[in-house]
Amino acid sequence: MSLKEQITEDMKTAMRAKDAERLGAIRLLLSAIKQKEVDERIELDDVTVVAIVDKLIKQRKDSITAFELAARQDLADKEKAEMAVLVAYLPARMSAEEVTAAVRAIVVDLGAKGPGDMGKVMGAVKAQLAGKADMADVSAAVKAALAG
Residues 6+ apart with CB under 8 A from 18: none
**Percentage of the chain surpassing pLDDT 90?**
53
- Is residue 111 located within the same domain as residue 79? no
* Domain of residue 101, CATH code: 1.10.10.410
Give the whole-angstrom CA distance, residue 67 versus residue 56: 16
Average of per-residue pLDDT across 8-19 = 96
CA angle (120 as vertex; 114, 113 as ends), nearest 5: 20
- Is residue 70 located within the same domain as residue 130? no
- Is residue 12 located within the same domain as residue 38? yes
Give residue 121's pLDDT band: very low, low, confident or very high (50, 70, 90). Answer: confident
- Is residue 77 located within the same domain as residue 110? no
Domain finish residue from 69, 87, 105: 87
Give the whole-angstrom CA distance, residue 142 versus residue 100: 8
- Is residue 83 located within the same domain as residue 100? no
- Is residue 106 located within the same domain as residue 36? no
Average of per-residue pLDDT across 39-54 = 90
pLDDT for the residue 55: 92
Domain hosting residue 55, numbered range: 3-87
- Is residue 55 located within the same domain as residue 81? yes
Number of domains in the chain: 2
Domain finish residue from 87, 104, 133: 87
Q: Is-contact 6 29, C-beta < 8 A?
A: no
Give the whole-angstrom CA distance, residue 90 versus residue 132: 8
- Is residue 69 located within the same domain as residue 22? yes
Domain finish residue from 59, 87, 115: 87
Give residue 135's pLDDT band: very low, low, confident or very high (50, 70, 90). Answer: confident
- Is residue 106 located within the same domain as residue 56? no
3-state secondary structure 48-117: HHHHHHHHHHHHHHHHHHHHHHCCCHHHHHHHHHHHHHHHCCCCCCCCHHHHHHHHHHHHHHHCCCCHHH
pLDDT in tens, 82-110: 999 999 998 888 888 888 888 888 888 88
Give the whole-angstrom CA distance, residue 50 versus residue 68: 27
- Is residue 13 located within the same domain as residue 72? yes
* Domain of residue 22, CATH code: 1.10.1510.10
Question: pTM of this prediction?
Answer: 0.76
Higher pLDDT residue, 116 or 64? Answer: 64
